[in-house]
Amino acid sequence: MRTETNQQVIPAPVHERDQIAEHVREILRLLGEDTTRDGLVDTPLRVAKMYEEMLGGMRMDPESVLSATFDETAQGPVIVSDITFYSLCEHHMVPFFGKAHVAYLPSQTIVGISKIARLVDVFARRLQVQERMTEQIVDTIDRVLKPHGVMALIDAEHTCMCARGIRKPGSRTITVATRGEYQHNADLRREFLQMIGRG
């Protein structure tokens, strides 16, 4: 049997977008910019719209993304790999981006594979740290689908390390989270890593 509920997305009110734009304009002024010059006149509103898009996951319920489920089982893991994502680091509000790889061992319920990618997107489109995002993905799948096990690996590049501070472009950060059988079975973890090309 298939169950489904509507995914709840709450758009940002227009007055909030206007307020953000005003604050961006003030930041530009404090940095010494002329906010009336051609290149910057529309920048505050563009930045406000960008934040609304990049942080849209803050207004979404991640569990609703997994609400369309099917009463099916599978003998092996379901793996969705190379899910491209972009997020904003909450420490400097600059992007980090990369690939997420997610696997789960179904018990009695499966979900459309695109929904795994959507779940990654919901958590990526928030002010984030990579460690928390990895845990949130596996926790949500574990809670909603109740699989035998779930595992996620995220490989990302952080512009706060590349463009400022220590300035080490090309450096990667890898985080892993596991639940259930993936937490206790090293062979399953090894299989997952081999299947995503990291064996």
Domain with CATH 1.10.286.10 in the chain: 14-54
Binding-site residues from annotation for Zn(2+): 89, 92, 160
Average pLDDT on 155-162 reads 93
Residue, of 120 and 14, whose pLDDT is higher: 120
CA dist 46 and 184 (Å) reads: 47
Q: Whole-model pTM?
A: 0.91
Domain with CATH 3.30.1130.10 in the chain: 69-195
Percentage above 90 pLDDT, the chain: 82
3-state helix, strand, coil in the chain (%, to 5): 40, 25, 35
Of 81-85, 106-110, 112-116, 161-165, least confident by mean pLDDT is 161-165
CATH class of 14-54: mainly alpha
pLDDT-based confidence at 2, cuts 50/70/90? very low
Catalytic residues: 89-92, 130, 158, 160
DSSP letters for 100-146: EEEEEE-SS-EE-HHHHHHHHHHHHSSEE-HHHHHHHHHHHHHHHH-
Quote the tokens at residue 67: 């609400």
CATH class of 69-195: alpha beta
